[in-house]
Every structure is written in structure tokens, then in C-alpha cells.
Amino acid sequence: MIETGNLKLVACTRMHLQGMQRTEMPSMMGADTVEGWLAFPESVQQAIALLQANSQNLRWGMHIVLHKTDNKIIGTCGYNGAADNDGLVEIGYAVAPSYKNAGIESEIAKGLVDNAFEWAAVNMIDAYTLARSSESGKTLEGLGFARLEKEEGLVHWRLTRNDYENSRAN
């Protein structure tokens, strides 16, 4: 689990993922869900496949975003698998509309970034945002990500370990 000031990012086990498909998440987590918390239901199948491929992907897969004070499940986030041979991991996150533009996305992204760079195998982190989503881009820029390119309606972002460490030293 990754814990930030307001959030718990809980790594999804296979049981969690299956519970998402059957809407059992509130009883499993002891917390209510908010409308729109699972923005990308299709990602659940991808997360199950990731776990089936390698049990180490528990840490490097989907996480549930639990707001500690509200005791509500407000979104999902995580990684798209363990670091590749170049030390690259990809992050993603989505929160319910009622929790957008309240600093939650920044807190999630920072938690994922800080956690990833605790592992020596990680040298860089990529993220993709919708080209029309300026808020997501501002969140990543605020964390030191560099905009690389636009690809078919998406913007590609990257944060290297050197840039991350340099920003923390300042």
C-alpha cells in the first residue's frame, strides 16, 4: 500500500479485481464508493491479466484510491507492469468527477512517482494524458514531467530519475 496525506493507494489483488467486476468493492474494503470511481472498467481485465502473468505485478498493477478522511473509494491508479529492461514504468490514474480539481490527482501521481523511484530498477516514468486535458498536463508538469510528444489525441510525458532527484534536492 502507498499512503499519502489524504489517501491510501491499495494494490489490487485478484480478489479485489473480481470484486470490482461484481460491484462488491464497498463490502470488501469497508468503504463506500462514489459515483464514477471506476472510470475505465475495461482496465480491470487488463489488471487481471497482468497479475496472472506475474505475481510480482501486484505491486506494479492497479491500485484502489481510498480517501482516508471520507472513507470512500474515489478512483483507481497504478502502474502498467514492472519496469522494463530500460527501467521504464508507466503510471495512470483516474478519480471520480466529484473529487477532480481538488489536488487529489497530484497527490495520487506524486505517491506513484515517489513509490516507483524507491526501487533501483526504475529509471524513468511515463504517463499519457488526453491532448484536450490541460489539468492532467499541469499535474504532471508540476511533478517535473517533460512533455515529449503528441500521439493520436494523447500527450506523452516522462520523468527521469535524474530530474526527480534534482527537483527533490532543490
Profile the chain (170 residues) by mean pLDDT over runs of 10 residues: 96 88 77 91 90 87 95 95 95 94 94 97 94 83 90 90 86
Q: What is the pLDDT of residue 152?
A: 82
Q: Is residue 75 within 8 Å of residue 89, measured between CB atoms? A: no
Domain ranges of the chain: 2-169
For residue 95, what is its C-alpha cell? Answer: 478519480
Q: What pTM was estimated for this model as a whole?
A: 0.92
Q: What is the pLDDT of residue 170?
A: 66
In terms of CATH architecture, what is 2-169?
3-Layer(aba) Sandwich (3.40)
Query: Which amino acid is present at 92?
Result: G
Complete DSSP assignment for 106-160 = HHHHHHHHHHHTTSTT--EEEEEEETT-HHHHHHHHHTTPEEEEEETTEEEEEEE
Q: Is residue 81 within 8 Å of residue 119, measured between CB atoms? A: no
Q: What is the pLDDT of residue 30?
A: 86
Complete DSSP assignment for 41-81 = THHHHHHHHHHHH-GGGGTTSEEEEEETTTTEEEEEEEESS
Q: What is the pLDDT of residue 110?
A: 97
